[in-house]
Amino acid sequence: MKVLLIFVDSDHAEDVARLLKKNDVPGYSEFPHVRGKGESGRKMGTRAFPGSSTLYFVALPDGTCKGLCDDLKALQLEKGPEVGVKAYMLDTMEVL
């Protein structure tokens, strides 16, 4: 099983949600208004550091991540750096 952590600029969260639906992802957790600092600078939801990110936490069976990852790469190429999309894949094991 794999866990995919997808970070995206909150203004483009609907683009990621659309890709999750397109790839028949059966379930995910969405964390809106994530604040922090990364490659694109600070996103703290303030006047000094406006904006925020949205985090999607997706657990998928092995071998089913490729289509979604390919679509996320295409989104990044289509929209450019302002989409602020990053994805990290982790190996995981279901324990319950």
Domain boundaries, the chain: 2-91
Q: What is the mean pLDDT of residues 14-27?
A: 96
**What is the spatial distance between Cα 46 and Cα 32, in angstroms, rounded to a whole number?**
15
pLDDT of residue 54: 97
3-state secondary structure of 66: helix
Name the class of domain 2-91. alpha beta
65 Cβ partners below 8 Å, 6+ apart? 2, 4, 89
pLDDT at position 7 over 90? yes
**What is the spatial distance between Cα 31 and Cα 55, in angstroms, rounded to a whole number?**
5
Give the global pTM: 0.91
Q: Is 3 exposed, middle or buried (0-12, 13-18, 19+ CB in 10 A)?
A: middle
